[in-house]
């Protein structure tokens, strides 16, 4: 039932069906696709974290990969040479430090608007990039290979065995479901509503008494924390990190995923991550100049499907039975 003031936008069946399909997918027993989809689910978390900024708060960041990279590097740097790191301590640490970095950057960047915000987020992301690229501490451009996957033990019991790709797959799926659930719940909370108001008209929000700076800073920090979670999972999956994780290409790609999927719904961002990865696979198999094709496809989609992949269902319905077009 739609609550007063809220059009019925929830699509529990589509989401449940997609979740079920993802849960059953490992039965097909295809190691290549298992790894690919694990990667895409992690990217989906990353894209949803950016959607909180772009689609909900109205802050277009071109430096979101920094927090993804910090999450990944925390695991790499905390993994000892001859022992596995503890999943239980490194995960909160990765999320916490990404949040802290986003908070500190946010103090400066959420003060500025539109183009300046894009430039400021990019500049800070480049700083983090070079922090890992050019320092002893970050081990330079070669990155870090971890000798061990993290261990998730409670007493003597290994809860997750990350040596098994299926475990990583299901942990990524679980994280995706939790993050999606959390973000959609957040949308219905007073905090989420205020963020939407800020996106729609920040000046009016201020004149209504909202401390919009605090709200934007909180949103930026939360988005950084969730990007850090995605980065951590990515490092866990591949056992390897390098500074390219923080590069502006990566920030650009995740922004494209959000735009491709349609900003503002979270499921759209997740869909965008899948669509982006699918196009990438298809074009990579077909030609060496796959990036050209990918770029052209995204331009066409943005031109002709402005609401992104998330709007396709409503478009089909409008075409078939009539009704409002998105």
Q: Which is nearer to another protein, 173 or 226 (CB)?
A: 226
196 binds another protein (CB under 8 A): yes
Options 55, 84, 197, 275; binder of another protein; rule CB under 8 A: 197
How many residues contact another protein, by CB under 8 A? Answer: 30
What are residue 199's phi and psi, to 5 degrees?
-65, -40
Task: Identify residues 172-191 at the interface with another protein (CB under 8 A).
Answer: 185-186, 188-191
Options 1, 3, 24, 157; binder of another protein; rule CB under 8 A: 3
Class of residue 43 by CB neighbours under 10 A (exposed 0-12, middle 13-18, buried 19+): buried
7 binds another protein (CB under 8 A): yes
Min dist CB 4 to another protein, Å, is 5
Class of residue 100 by CB neighbours under 10 A (exposed 0-12, middle 13-18, buried 19+): middle
CA distance 64 to 53: 10
Q: Which is nearer to another protein, 212 or 251 (CB)?
A: 212
What are residue 240's phi and psi, to 5 degrees?
-155, 140
306 binds another protein (CB under 8 A): no
115 binds another protein (CB under 8 A): no
What are residue 63's phi and psi, to 5 degrees?
-140, 25
Q: Say which residue the tokens 């993994």 belong to.
A: 79
Cα→Cα distances 26→74, 176, 271, 275, 314, Å:
29, 16, 19, 20, 30
Q: Which is nearer to another protein, 170 or 213 (CB)?
A: 213
Site string for another protein, 222-251 (x = CB under 8 A): ------------------------------
**Footprint on this chain of another protein (rule: CB under 8 A):** 2-7, 185-186, 188-194, 196-197, 200-201, 203-212, 218
């Amino acid at each position: 039932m739609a609550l007063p003031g809220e059009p019925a936008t929830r699509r529990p069946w589509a989401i449940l069906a997609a979740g079920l399909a993802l849960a059953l997918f490992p039965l097909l027993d295809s190691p290549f696709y298992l790894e690919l989809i694990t990667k895409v689910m992690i990217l989906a978390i990353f894209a949803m974290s950016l959607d909180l900024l772009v689609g909900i708060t109205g802050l277009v960041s071109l430096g979101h990969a920094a927090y993804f990279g910090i999450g990944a590097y925390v695991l790499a740097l905390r993994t000892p040479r001859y022992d596995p790191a503890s999943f239980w301590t490194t995960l909160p640490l990765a999320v916490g430090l990404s949040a802290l970095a986003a908070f500190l950057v946010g103090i400066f960047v959420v003060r500025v608007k539109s183009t300046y915000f894009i430039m400021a987020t990019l500049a800070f992301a480049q700083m983090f990039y070079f922090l890992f690229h050019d320092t002893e501490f970050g081990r330079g451009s070669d990155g870090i290979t971890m000798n061990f996957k993290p261990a998730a033990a409670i007493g003597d019991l290994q809860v997750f065995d990350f040596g098994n790709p299926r475990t990583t797959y299901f942990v990524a799926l679980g994280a995706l479901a939790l993050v999606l659930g959390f973000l959609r719940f957040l949308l219905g909370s007073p905090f989420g509503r205020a963020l939407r108001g800020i996106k729609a008209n920040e000046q009016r929000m201020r004149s209504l008494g909202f401390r919009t700076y605090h709200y934007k800073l909180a949103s930026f920090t939360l988005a950084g924390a969730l990007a850090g979670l995605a980065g951590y999972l990515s490092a866990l999956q591949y056992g390897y990190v390098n500074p390219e994780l923080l590069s502006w290409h990566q920030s650009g790609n995740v922004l494209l995923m959000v735009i491709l999927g349609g900003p503002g719904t979270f499921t759209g961002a997740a869909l965008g991550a899948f669509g982006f990865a699918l196009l990438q696979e298809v074009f990579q198999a077909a030609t060496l100049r796959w990036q050209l094709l990918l770029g052209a496809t995204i331009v066409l989609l943005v031109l002709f499907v402005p609401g992104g992949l998330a709007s396709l269902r409503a478009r089909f319905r409008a075409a078939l039975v009539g009704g409002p077009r998105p």
